[in-house]
Structure 1
Amino acid sequence: MHWMLGHTVGEAYEQLVRIAPATPLRSHGPRPVLRRCSVQLHEDRSALEAFATIATGPRVRAMAFRLERGGDQRWRCAAVELDGLGTAARPA
């Protein structure tokens, strides 16, 4: 997780921290397989949003994330969700 710190902005790192304990894509059975992926680039090319569906055996998971281009022209993760975990998964 710590290597992601320099590649995130805003609350994205905290979202990853909340998702990580569930080890959502780790499996002791079949390896995860990317089933579908789509990307939409914003008109001003400063951000993109992507989603993917990932199968692990019979289970299919949904993942979405947003990348934003900083002033240094590097892309950084600004938001991430997995099966509704992420922005919606805030501690009570």
Structure 2
Amino acid sequence: MLGHTVGDAYEQLVRLAPETPLRSHGPRPVLRRCSIQVHAPHSAIEAFATIATGARVRAMAFRLERGEDQRWRCAAVELDGLGAAARHP
């Protein structure tokens, strides 16, 4: 993942990984809703999704930024609003 992240995003992913809704041993996760916002001139994308696992619904958001090499990299990740906690343990 190091080559696909910039800034603090890798550490955010490491801290949030145990909380991911996709690691459920119960009902299969279902994507409920997703949306993106593209920032001009196509240099960043902010996306969010809501994911249901049985009765539980979780929110996930992330930001992708395009580098000078034109590759997209994850710059920030939040799960249920835990982005700030992931950045500052």
TM-score by length of 2: 0.91
What number of residue pairs does the alignment pair up? 88
Identity of aligned residues (%): 85
| Superposition CA RMSD, Å | 1.2
| Cα deviation digits, residues 29-79 of structure 1 (max 9, x gap) | 111110000000002110010000000010000000000000110000000
**2:31 is equivalent to residue 34 of structure 1:** yes
Q: CA deviation at 1:81?
A: 0.2
Work out the CA distance in 1 between the residues paired with 2:18 and 2:53.
18
Q: Which ranges of structure 1 fall in alignment gaps of 5 or more residues?
A: none
Q: CA deviation at 1:23?
A: 4.1
Bigger helix fraction:
2
Work out the CA distance in 1 between the residues paired with 2:34 and 2:19.
22
TM-score by length of 1: 0.89
Work out the CA distance in 2 between the residues paired with 1:47 and 1:88.
23
Alpha-carbon contact 2:21-2:53 (below 8 Å) kept:
no
Q: Which runs of 4+ in 1 moved over 2 A?
A: 21-25, 86-89
Q: Which of 66, 71, 79 is 2:68 aligned to?
A: 71
Q: Which residue identity does 2:38 align to in structure 1? A: L
